[in-house]
Structure 1
């Protein structure tokens, strides 16, 4: 979620991403309860074998499976629920052509999930969920290069207690338990969509999402950076300012900037005529990356991925996320969105095909999910092969 409304209403117009989810917001008491349950109910803090050798690999390594979640809450999605479920099923079926997909569903909605996803998708009912944003709620898997696999939980708190999450805050630990790997809780609160890794020691993140009192009150950027590096097996974070308070995620990095390889990144660029806060944010991210170096001292090279014209896409929803950069790399394929700006859609497919040689680029119409401010990357979490 993983992600922001890349072309939001005017500044000051409100929350932006998934404003319609306000009905599912937490009371202070419920937030405190959910936080307590998240800390107490997660799998035990088990130290991984050979601490310091585990690292989160870049996304294009071989995967054992993809993890997803099935949304079934009308209090969260309202009348949009059925359409969002159809989009989740489309994503799951598409990925399942390339690698196994495990989808967590609540028992009461598992039959519908199985019906829409088809037999190629494994639906399990032992891990309850609140919503579909597996990038943020799921475990961050790490490998050690010697056959070892473990997982880290980022203490998901509903993007700063903006949405009910009593079940979702436990998903990371429960998936790790299902897989049977050691699980640790990171020393910060965050979401998988808030962090990009190159698998070689360098991370990208926005301050607005992580250096934020709604996740990490009282923690300095240096403390948060240290906790991130420990969790991801990294030594350097490239920070962007981001955008505070305009969307539920406080501007996740994975809707704008992605690593292609160690020392190589991609940024989705706005139209030259776009000057909203997210356009300015994207340009700043490109500028910072263009002058950055990796943990190993290599100068970054940065590719541009042109975003669509919001006047030409199908959706007119104010919170719609039209992010080609929110793609998901699975075994043999890259799964991305397409939004109805036919010229931009074709250009994005050509760019991704060039950047990921040997992989099929699949573009999906996921407009219903996009009204929630998310994309393909937001609803998927990879389990890399050890």
Structure 2
């Protein structure tokens, strides 16, 4: 949590947001800290399912990509890779010695969505705020992945705090200081939360994250597996600051471009300081459904782990923007094209456990 003098000096939080932030800490309420706050460790998941990844060559490539990310993060903080015991030998061969393996079975690699959401009460206590993963609205097998958050909480001896929601942490972005943003399509959706109004979903999300205010935009329904997760478009980089990834020339027939522009305008109207990073144009993978998101980065202790796409100009623009928004951290950019082909990125594959 930001100290009072830092919040006041920033001038970026309104009085109601400041009161909510201080009130949460004073009341002993649990909240999700900002991602840039110190971590105890990072959790990741091993993509092991032959049902999800039926092509053995592609599966091996996905595993190597996940290992590359884990190995990079492990240079800055502890990484725990979740995998069934029978998958440990295969994983160990690709992972750096510093990466730990826990015997928690997995199907896919998207730990942001199926992994535990850690909350703290500011009194050196942790818990897991539980939003039930259901395979993005039962679009994918999740017999093991839907149990990961609970199993991690049990192994750590932490209480599991039910939210009453189905969904994924990649579908909501939080600044750690009382503000959330999300696309309705990922939450107010019959495939996750049937019969719930947006107001009710908002109430439950605010409680789950220990936040006070929320910015909504419509998003895109039924065009991708996530129903347009916000973390591939826009990220909070501090109180009142947002980094957003948009094309220089929006395609008027692309629903994601149109929805992204609308989200940008909502954030500006809400008083956010918004910086735009252009999407890469001369990228290695040109397929229509490839996710080329610079915004889907991960902030760990001392570094930002981000994607590069082979466009020298926009890769450098993204690097410079991340360095400005996260001063004093190494900017590590990786080729994670396999994740983009699968519809996600580095942030989607990671989940932080805050230090207390």
TM-score, structure 1 as length reference: 0.83
Match of residue 74 from structure 1: 50
Q: How does 1:1-386 map to 2 (within 5 A)?
A: 53-79=29-55, 80-125=58-103, 127-275=104-252, 276-292=254-270, 299-309=271-281, 312-386=282-356
Give the CA deviation at 1:138. 0.8
Provide the secondary structure at the position in 2 that maps to 1:64. strand
Give the CA deviation at 1:52. 6.0
Distance 2:339 2:238 in 1: 28
Provide the secondary structure at the position in 2 that maps to 1:205. strand
- Which stretches of structure 1, 4 residues or longer, exceed 2 Å deviation after superposition? 316-319
Match of residue 47 from structure 1: none
Give the CA deviation at 1:283. 1.1
Give the CA deviation at 1:108. 2.1
Provide the secondary structure at the position in 2 that maps to 1:76. coil
Distance 1:74 1:242 in 2: 31
Distance 1:70 1:301 in 2: 37
Please say if residues 327 and 335 of structure 1, whose CA atoms lie closer than 8 Å, have aligned partners that are also in contact: yes
* Inter-CA distance 174–334: structure 2 relative to 1 (3 Å threshold): same
Give the CA deviation at 1:242. 0.2
Cα-to-partner distance string for 1:163-197 (whole Å, 9 max, x where unaligned): 00011111001111122221112121110100111
Give the CA deviation at 1:317. 3.6
Please say if residues 28 and 123 of structure 2, whose CA atoms lie closer than 8 Å, have aligned partners that are also in contact: no
Distance 2:277 2:317 in 1: 9
Unaligned runs of 5+ in 1: 1-49, 293-298
Provide the secondary structure at the position in 1 that maps to 2:164. coil
Higher relative contact order (CA 8 A, sep 6+): 1
Match of residue 12 from structure 2: none
Provide the secondary structure at the position in 2 that maps to 1:188. strand
Provide the secondary structure at the position in 2 that maps to 1:71. coil
Distance 1:73 1:318 in 2: 26
Please say if residues 254 and 325 of structure 1, whose CA atoms lie closer than 8 Å, have aligned partners that are also in contact: yes
Distance 2:288 2:50 in 1: 20
Distance 2:205 2:246 in 1: 27
TM-score, structure 2 as length reference: 0.90
Distance 2:227 2:43 in 1: 24
Cα-to-partner distance string for 1:259-279 (whole Å, 9 max, x where unaligned): 111111111111224331111
Distance 1:70 1:317 in 2: 25
Q: How many residues align?
A: 329
Cα root mean square deviation, aligned: 1.5
Please say if residues 267 and 285 of structure 1, whose CA atoms lie closer than 8 Å, have aligned partners that are also in contact: no
Please say if residues 270 and 282 of structure 1, whose CA atoms lie closer than 8 Å, have aligned partners that are also in contact: no
Provide the secondary structure at the position in 2 that maps to 1:151. strand
